[in-house]
Structure 1
């Protein structure tokens, strides 16, 4: 798949997972793509926890369902109705969760390039996630980034040390298909804005 095709074909997958396992050699390619991401000071501050245990998947699913209801309770009217139609996770259906962590101690106390921008290491982890996501798209797999969770719950669930921050739970697996239009656009939650609305020349104004 052409790089630009993968970028435009990438979707936040929710309802399309088939439940089939990811082949070991494919998973190795995805993780290698993630590990090849650029990182501030070559610190490579990411970790990947692979979660397949049914009980652990179920526990995370229950936690996410609770957080989903917490958010839903803040909505009313059209927003509530629209949100009720959006499936927000495929935790059990995908059968594989990849928890991506950020270790700010990786690379030692003097990470080249991080002295002025404390979050540069976190940005590096997000680059690794995007690499994994594009590689998965090229492999014909789906990825869903679950955001309805509390960090401390996820840290405890997968045994991350106190100093390591869980940045993402990614549902990863084969899919029946990827929709042409992203779910949030298809259901009317938000629509993609034109490029011209976010490009500025010389100064923001």
Structure 2
């Protein structure tokens, strides 16, 4: 049977409700248990992430699993330096709150995955990106979000660490110079599950209602 002849699945109201719950329970996790993931689960999650849409079917994302202790230590050192610099830019009313926040799970998370993008991949033959070349990076971001939801569906937490120097991370991980860092991810079982974002629980910011502009 060809792909055209296969009946599309029908997603009923029960599945739709569970999907809505999945979106709401997806959290940026910074507090992990150190337990290893079940064997083969990370590979399956990354395979699911690769099913994400991409401009021109270019699949420009590049996943790098970071297991070497020395490389992980170097990433943590870069985070600490960048975080200290970010703290120094906070005004007096925010500095104490910022210093109290836990902004990464680099020490506890059993899995580290760096996500890079190849900005001009041969795959896809340039389709759809001449006028919006940034759509290549956006495609990698969609892959990250797909991974995030897939992990949550398995009860696994994911934290996106952005307080890093992209050039330094590329150097630490010894990847091609053309690759651009999109995300550094910590993955593992969360210490706690909460429907409210941690930054909201800590008083940093509140989620606001949706804003739609009509033209």
TM-score bucket of the superposed structures, by smaller chain: over 0.9
Gap regions ≥5 residues in structure 1: none
Which residue is equivalent to 1:8? 24
Shift of 1:199: 0.6
CA RMSD, aligned part only?
Answer: 1.4
1-structure distance, mates of 2:124, 2:198? 42
Aligned equivalents of 1:76, 1:13: Cα separation in 2: 26
Do structure 1's residue 201 and structure 2's residue 214 form an aligned pair? yes
Q: Counterparts of 1:116 and 1:105 in 2: how far apart (Å)?
A: 13
Which of 31, 34, 42 is the aligned partner of 1:27?
42
* Superposed counterparts of 1:74-89, under 5 Å: 74-89=89-104
Tell me the CA shift for residue 60 of structure 1. Answer: 0.7
Match of 1:52 among 61, 67, 73: 67
Alignment partner of 1:148 is 2:148:
no
**Structure 2 Cα separation of the partners of residues 91 and 4 of structure 1:** 29
The residue number in structure 1 matching 2:126 is 111
Note the 1:55-66 alignment, pairs <5 A: 55-66=70-81
For the 8 Å contact 1:133–1:143, the answer to whether it is kept is yes
**Count of residue correspondences:** 199
| Paired residue secondary structure (2:103) | coil
Render the CA deviation track for 1:128-155: whole Å, top value 9, x for unaligned.
Answer: 0000000011110111100111111000
| Cα separation, 1, equivalents of 2:180 and 2:36 | 27
How far apart are residue 187 of structure 1 and its match? 1.2
Structure number with bigger Rg: 2
In the aligned structure 1, how far is the partner of 2:54 from the partner of 2:183? 17
149-158 vs 170-179, which moves further: 170-179
1-side partners of 2:146 and 2:19: how far apart? 11
From 157, 160, 183, give the equivalent of 1:168.
183
Q: 1:120-131, aligned counterparts within 5 Å?
A: 120-131=135-146
Distance apart, 1:83 and its partner CA: 0.8
1:100 is matched with which residue: 107, 115, 122? 115
State how far apart, in whole Å, the 2-side matches of 1:128 and 1:109 are: 16
